A and B are shown apart, each in its own frame.
Chain A
Amino acid sequence: MNFFNTYKKQILYLVIALLVILAFFTVGKKTKATPIDNMLGFIVTPAQNISSSVSSWFSSKISSFKDDTNIAEENAELKAQVELLEAENKRLSMYEEENKRLSALLDISQKYPDYETTGTNVIAKDPGNWFFTFTIDKGTKDGLAPDMALTDAGGLVGRITECGYIYSKVESILDSRSSVSAMSLRTGDLGVVKGDYTLMNDGLCKMEYIDAESEIMKGDEIVTSYLSDIYPSGITIGYVKEVITDENGLTKYAVIEPSVDFKHISTLLVITDSFAQSALPEENTPEEIPQQTPADLQNQSSGDEQ
């Protein structure tokens, strides 16, 4: 330990320099967990799994104790809603059939195909106050890969940033580092949904770069657009809460209320299709054309014939 005492300063500077370099080189680039990460994951992930299920059990007990009185009322309300939704669902499935026939006639691929999904649980959330990331209990072992999108029953949750063997790190759409190419379902206006440090803790996010002339307004549904190469198109993100014109007067931004309740996320779906191949947009941008291999095109045309 004498060695440490004599070269205390030098060692410290060396460590700082090494860490700074390491941090700069790995920023946002680490998509695969290293063996050390996986080893730690074998210790930490099961512990988090147990701990989070125990604490969520307690939390649900406490909240059910609180809400006990409203259950009957809520049940009646939900039954009415189910009836409504069933009727609507029937109507929509008829539309789907019609749509399929018409698309086949027009020889275009389905814009909103079915995705293959797998269920997963949230086991831990970010221990800080600045970011909104969490870990889920599935990794490369279950066939997950970085950049896969996650959804809840309500809508889009985020994407996988790093995969370990038995765990994955997820960046939610509320995180300030996330950006999702989005579209207003009613008007078709495009924008980018981004996380915001000031809105994150209220469970809101922001849609930026909206054209000033667009007619986007409060209550509009925002979905993922067909321009993204990470997120499949047509997944609900949320609803417009407020539209604000930027100071420069050229663009607007909208405050979005996500349809997912980010305070209570527990079970999620991972879209495991690498959708870049399966769902080609109608309007192919020049960058996207080279990604099509002949095999894909064949698959597609055969799919359309069915």
Chain B
Amino acid sequence: MKRAVIIFIILIFNLVFQSTVLQYFRINSVIPNTALAVIISMALLRGRLEGCLTGFAAGILQDIFFGNSLGYYALLGVLSGYIIGRFNHNYYRENYALPVFLCFTGTLIYESAVFFTGAFFDGYLNYFYFLINIILPEAVYTAVVSIVIYRILFSVNDRIEKSEKYKRKLFSIK
């Protein structure tokens, strides 16, 4: 329960940060997808279930405040949490290479999915234009920012896990 509240606060903080402060840090009008970095970090640290739940919460927040329909970003969030959660089992948490690499490829796939479900149907068939101008820069930017985000979430998760250790395990996640 404590964990859920903390993650939700992090997500709300991320939404506020992304929609206000980060707007001033657009490079060539490209903004990093920090919400996806949070989803990927949580999924890596905690596995599929929490990846899915984090993805859902982050997505539904974006749907409510900026989306055109309810459920679109939530669906993308659930899917990315589920897919990334697979890597939870076999990697060392202290290793930064995997989260950064996954944030890069994850953003590539995520934004390509956004393109092929949105702009593509509007008649913008030139995928490579958008790949070079929006998707790739965003993936690089997100990968760079994800180092910081992963570091923060890593220590937050460590704290929560330590505090949970001493309690009786009512709900063991694994």
Seen from chain A, the residues whose Cβ lies within 8 Å of a Cβ on chain B are 1, 4, 8, 12, 15-16, 18-24, 26-28, 30, 33, 36-37, 40-41, 43-44, 47-48, 51-52, 55, 58-59, 123-131, 133, 135, 161, 167, 169, 176-177, 197-198, 201
Contact = CB atoms under 8 A, between A and B. Distances in A.
Contacts of B49: 1, 4
Residue from B16, B33, B65 whose CB has the most chain A CB atoms within 10 Å = B65
Chain B contact surface mostly: helix
A19 B118 contact: no
Contacts of B34: 127
A10 to B, nearest CB: 13
Interface stretch (B68-76, B92-100, B145-153, B154-162): B68-76
Contact of B12 (A22, A47, A130, A169): A47
Given A124-B16, A130-B114, A20 B66 contact: no
B129 interface: yes
B134 A51 contact: no
B10 interface: no
Given A8-B48, A16-B75, A28-B68, 11 more contacts: A15-B78, A22-B70, A24-B69, A27-B68, A30-B69, A40-B65, A51-B20, A52-B20, A127-B15, A127-B35, A197-B119
Interface residues of B, number: 54
Chain A contact surface mostly: helix
B65 A198 contact: no
Interface string B90-120: 0000000000000000000001001100110
Given A129-B31, A135-B65, A23 B172 contact: no
B31 A128 contact: yes
B111 to A, nearest CB: 7
A1 B72 contact: no
A1 B20 contact: no
A26 B73 CA distance: 13
27 contacts: A1-B49, A1-B171, A8-B48, A12-B78, A12-B82, A21-B71, A22-B69, A22-B71, A23-B71, A26-B70, A37-B64, A43-B12, A44-B15, A44-B65, A47-B13, A48-B16, A125-B23, A127-B15, A127-B18, A127-B62, A129-B29, A129-B30, A129-B134, A176-B122, A177-B68, A198-B124, A198-B133
